[in-house]
Amino acid sequence: MSKPIEELLQDLKNKDEDIRDRATQGLWEMWFMQKGMQGLQVLRQSQMMADSGNIRQAELMLTQLIHAQPDFVEAWNRRAVLFYMKGDYTRSIQDCLKAIALNTYHFGAVHGLGLCYAAIGNYHDAIVTFRRALEIQPYSLTNQKLVLECTSMLN
């Protein structure tokens, strides 16, 4: 039996790295399984398509999934990742914002939004966004490092 979301979110702030790692994994599993095995299968298929270089087909699959299940947060997040990979930061930002609107504590989407802002040179918004990600996952070394990198770009 998995822990309730509130408990997992609290565990992300625990000093114990093992507890944080289990909470992170638990949340990702919850997000991927939001729409059951059928939704998970489409996410996996689209990932296999993307991994094999067929980004367009992966994007099409995720777009169809989003139309069928507009509240499927991970579908929005996965498509945002594809747009980011293509360098289409505007569309990636839109999908990240949609994922975050549906799930305010989706640290993956918040982190992705920060990456998009950094990629377009909007370092101020990137810093604000990475700090928001750190409110969810205070021990994230990646986000801590990105705050510093973006801050150095402002000077």
What does the pLDDT look like over 52-97, one tens digit per residue? Answer: 999 999 999 999 999 999 999 999 999 999 999 999 999 999 999 9
Within the chain, residue ranges assigned H as helices are 5-11, 17-32, 36-51, 55-68, 73-86, 89-102, 107-119, 123-136, 141-154
For residues 44-49, give the mean pLDDT.
97
Contact 151/127 with Cβ under 8 angstroms?
A: yes
pTM of the model: 0.95
Distance CA 24, CA 31 (A): 11
- Residue 111, pLDDT above cutoff 60: yes
What letter does residue 16 receive in the DSSP assignment? -
Q: Using CA atoms, how far apart are residues 155 and 150, in angstroms rounded to an integer?
A: 9
Mean pLDDT of 121-132: 98
CA–CA dist 84, 79 (Å, integer): 9
Contact in structure between 84 and 116 (CB atoms under 8 Å): yes
